[in-house]
């Protein structure tokens, strides 16, 4: 697997594991979900041969351990052992001999993850012996669990054309009784399930089987129904995807590599002992795979359709209804288009097109950046005129340091100031800002109740889902962040920051005027009637009064972020923010950043802030509901003279 895709997949499973275990240990309040008996596994033992799932499962668990989400990870080889990824550091995690496992003292809270590909097992007897020994060993400790991720052998279509999928016991009956002349792989599959039933009936009940069908993904080509690697190489060589009637005639289930790992974790924590679960990501046909790949690579591949009517459709699909009993949600599955896109890029050694992550802008991101740069230059001119020091901050500063320009997928600009400069900037901006801008702050009665001030471009809309429910001038903006002094005593500074964070959330709820769907829905529903006792401005006054409590403090060592973004982290050192330097930014503009920016960026993004994030993280940070640049959509002078916005609606606007 290419390093860029491996890093992306591993980052995704780490995030999924962290979110899942957090929800598992802290279920929603007032939902009647008992927390009794819940615990997190402390050890993960990956037991596998050279199959694709075991190959991915080991670095996935190692990555989770490195993020301090799992104390112990070890790997044990069966038969010919692991085929490890070249681009992953396995220091201290090289697979060991299986005999080393059975020499360990009995342990508790241990996950035994067995990965088996029925089609690729050479020594059936060795694997059956291994399953029994591991199950018996795990049963000696408390709260241990064996998850057998079983990659199914090739199996024929369901004989009844009206039945489109088979559930767990139905599939077992089909394979045992209706399939004649079993292949070696099919016989092994039946032997594994028979052995597991025997073990459970002997009293070793901590076993689950998760069936995986047609596994695929970057670096993985175990889709038996369709050789995706051969198809992709042939299609790119010819520059054409050909679809015929037979491609529509058979439906089958397939599983994306990352999904298979995530479900193994789901089965570990939420699966019932002694159960078998079918798990698949998608129901597809060859035609669906081919046309989806063409949709991803329309510039590289032509599409040729040679189809008549499809008379008879067949299916060899698994039914996954049972897995929803374990709390699995369909939204966790990687969409087919994204899964195939990464798979094909890995096969072709292609370069990821990040525009797919920011498609919400409908091709307007470059224009948005141009307009924001125009706004930044005008702000810079105003600040120079009045001797106001400011600096790029947040992701804007990071872009200047990392790239020498804004982050390619970022959609806004942030500037920051210390309190003395901010007070002066707020005053002169309200009076002297160019007519094409408006200063958006609750203090100037703009209708906005953000805790951060913004300079907005008139005649445009740039609304998030949160802000779009209100009628006010919600245009393209630059955030103006203020960094306020706090106590030199760390715990007092943290308390100061935490109180402000709580107040900022109260202002959000009061302004939104309704509880928002999510984990805090019930909490907001309870508190909102009490917040309505006072107007929103009342909370702003308290917030700002607390914010500037240390305004006149001499020799202050720490500041806090007034926006709420970093308030949960507490105060950070003022060192480096008082002097600025000019560096290259977009369009040849020399933008100011702190003379010593390391302290700020380390606090905000961690010490490893310079490398680019993984592919899936290169996405715009805002959840926009409306983007409308009006007359500014094109780079012409007419835009500045286009009719004024009327927040009641476009038909209320007056022609110039």
* pLDDT (tens digit per residue) in 564-616: 677 788 898 998 898 999 999 988 899 999 999 999 999 999 899 999 998 88
Query: Nearest 5°: CA angle at 469, between 466 and 471?
Result: 125
The whole-angstrom separation of Cα 601 and Cα 15 is: 22
| Confidence (pLDDT) at 646 | 87
User: Measuring CA to CA, how many Å separate 474 from each of 272, 395, 439, 627?
Assistant: 51, 21, 11, 10
Q: Strand, coil or helix: what is 482?
A: strand
Residue bearing tokens 């076993």: 207
For residue 391, is pLDDT > 80?
yes
Residue bearing tokens 């992701």: 395
Half-sphere exposure of 626 (CA within 13 A, CB side): 18
Closest C-alpha among 105, 95, 183, 172 to residue 141? 105
Please indicate whether residue 634 or residue 325 has the higher confidence score (pLDDT).
634
Indicate the pairing of strand 215-217 with strand 250-256: parallel
pLDDT tens digits, 12-43: 999 999 999 998 888 766 555 666 788 999 99
Q: How many CB atoms lie within 10 A of CB 112?
A: 24
| Confidence (pLDDT) at 467 | 81
The whole-angstrom separation of Cα 5 and Cα 352 is: 9
Please indicate whether residue 81 or residue 439 has the higher confidence score (pLDDT).
439
Is residue 649 packed enough to be buried (19+ CB in 10 Å), middle (13-18) or exposed (0-12)? exposed
Mean pLDDT of the chain: 90
Q: Strand, coil or helix: what is 548?
A: coil
- Sign of dihedral through CA atoms 323, 324, 325, 327? positive
In the predicted model, what is the mean pLDDT of residues 158-183? 93
Is residue 327 packed enough to be buried (19+ CB in 10 Å), middle (13-18) or exposed (0-12)? middle
Radius of gyration of the chain (CA): 29
Confidence of residue 485 (pLDDT cuts 50, 70, 90): very high
In the predicted model, what is the mean pLDDT of residues 435-451? 87
Confidence of residue 295 (pLDDT cuts 50, 70, 90): very high
Q: What is the dihedral of CA 390, 394, 396, 399, to 10 degrees?
A: 130
pLDDT tens digits, 82-141: 888 988 888 889 999 999 999 999 899 999 999 999 999 888 899 999 999 999 999 999
CB-CB contact of 239 with 119 (8 Å): no
Half-sphere exposure of 579 (CA within 13 A, CB side): 4
Indicate the pairing of strand 282-285 with strand 391-392: unpaired
Domains and CATH numbers, the chain: 3-28+41-350 (3.40.50.720), 362-487+556-650 (3.30.460)
Closest C-alpha among 402, 585, 575 to residue 483? 575
CB-CB contact of 117 with 80 (8 Å): no
Strand stretches in 396-510, DSSP E: 413-418, 437-440, 453-457, 461-464, 477-485
Confidence of residue 11 (pLDDT cuts 50, 70, 90): very high
The whole-angstrom separation of Cα 318 and Cα 332 is: 18
| Confidence (pLDDT) at 310 | 86
Report residue 559 as tokens. 């500041």
The kind and range of the H/E element at 600 are helix 598-605
- Sign of dihedral through CA atoms 267, 270, 276, 280? negative
For residue 654, is pLDDT > 90?
no
CB-CB contact of 285 with 251 (8 Å): yes
Confidence of residue 637 (pLDDT cuts 50, 70, 90): confident
Closest C-alpha among 362, 369, 467 to residue 413? 369
Closest C-alpha among 292, 215, 183, 288 to residue 57? 215
For residue 357, is pLDDT > 80?
no
Strand stretches in 467-621, DSSP E: 477-485, 558-561, 572-573, 580-584, 590-594
In the predicted model, what is the mean pLDDT of residues 237-265? 95
The whole-angstrom separation of Cα 543 and Cα 570 is: 16
């Amino acid at each position: 697997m290419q390093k860029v895709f491996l890093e992306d997949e591993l980052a995704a499973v780490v995030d999924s594991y962290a979110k899942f275990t957090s929800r598992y240990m802290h279920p929603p309040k007032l939902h009647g979900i008992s927390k009794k008996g819940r615990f997190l596994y402390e050890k993960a033992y990956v037991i596998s041969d050279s199959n694709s799932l075991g190959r991915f499962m080991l670095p996935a668990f190692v990555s989770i351990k490195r993020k301090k989400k799992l104390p112990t990870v070890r790997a044990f080889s069966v038969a010919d052992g692991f085929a490890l990824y070249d681009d992953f550091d396995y220091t201290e995690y090289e697979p060991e001999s299986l005999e080393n496992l059975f020499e360990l003292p009995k342990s508790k809270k241990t996950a035994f993850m067995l990965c088996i590909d029925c089609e690729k097992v050479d020594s059936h007897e060795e694997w059956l012996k291994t399953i029994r020994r591991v199950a018996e060993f795990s049963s000696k400790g408390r709260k241990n669990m064996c998850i057998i991720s079983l990659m199914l052998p090739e199996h024929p279509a369901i004989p009844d054309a009206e039945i489109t999928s088979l559930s767990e016991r139905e599939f077992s009956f089909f394979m045992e009784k209706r399939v004649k002349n079993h292949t070696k792989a099919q016989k092994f599959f039946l032997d594994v399930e028979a052995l597991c039933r025997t073990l459970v009936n002997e009293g070793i009940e901590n076993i689950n089987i998760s069936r995986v069908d047609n596994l695929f993904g970057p670096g993985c080509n175990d889709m038996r129904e369709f050789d995706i690697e051969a198809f992709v190489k042939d299609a790119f060589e010819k520059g054409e995807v050909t679809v015929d009637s037979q491609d529509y005639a058979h439906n089958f289930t397939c599983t994306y590599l990352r999904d298979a790992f995530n479900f193994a974790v789901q089965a570990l924590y939420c699966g019932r002992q002694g159960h078998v679960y079918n798990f698949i990501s998608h129901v597809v046909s060859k035609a669906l795979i081919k046309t989806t790949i063409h949709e991803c690579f329309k510039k590289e591949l032509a599409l040729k359709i040679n189809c008549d009517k499809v008379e008879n459709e067949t299916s060899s699909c698994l039914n996954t209804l049972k897995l929803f009993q374990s709390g699995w949600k369909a939204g966790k599955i990687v969409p087919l288009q994204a899964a195939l896109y990464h798979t094909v890029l890995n096969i072709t050694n292609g370069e990821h097109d990040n525009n797919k992550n920011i498609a919400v802008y409908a091709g307007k991101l470059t224009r948005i950046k141009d307009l924001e740069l125009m706004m930044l230059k005008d702000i810079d001119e105003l600040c120079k005129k009045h001797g106001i020091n400011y600096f790029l901050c947040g992701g804007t500063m990071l872009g200047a340091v990392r790239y020498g320009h804004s982050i390619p997928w970022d959609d806004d600009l942030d500037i920051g100031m210390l309190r003395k400069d901010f007070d002066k900037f707020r005053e002169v901006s309200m009076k002297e800002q160019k007519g094409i801008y408006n200063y958006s702050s609750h203090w100037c009665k703009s209708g906005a109740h953000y805790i951060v001030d913004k300079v907005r471009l008139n005649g445009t809309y740039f609304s998030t889902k949160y802000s779009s429910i209100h009628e006010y001038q919600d245009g393209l903006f630059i955030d103006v962040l203020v960094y306020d002094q706090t106590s030199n005593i760390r715990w007092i500074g943290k308390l100061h920051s935490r109180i402000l964070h709580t107040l900022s959330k109260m202002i959000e709820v009061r302004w939104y005027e309704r509880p928002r769907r999510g984990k805090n829905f019930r909490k907001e529903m309870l508190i909102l009637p009490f917040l309505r006792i006072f107007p929103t401005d009342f909370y702003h006054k308290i917030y700002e009064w607390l914010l500037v409590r240390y305004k006149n403090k001499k020799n202050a060592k720490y500041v806090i972020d007034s926006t709420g973004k970093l308030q949960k982290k507490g105060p950070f050192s003022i060192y480096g923010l008082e002097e600025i330097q000019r560096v290259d930014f977009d369009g040849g503009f020399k933008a100011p950043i702190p003379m010593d920016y390391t302290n700020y960026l380390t606090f905000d993004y961690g010490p490893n802030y310079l490398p680019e994030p993984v592919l899936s993280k290169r996405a715009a940070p805002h959840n926009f509901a409306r983007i409308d640049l009006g007359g500014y959509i094109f780079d012409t002078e007419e835009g500045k003279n286009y009719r004024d916005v009327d927040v009641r609606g476009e038909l209320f606007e007056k022609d110039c």
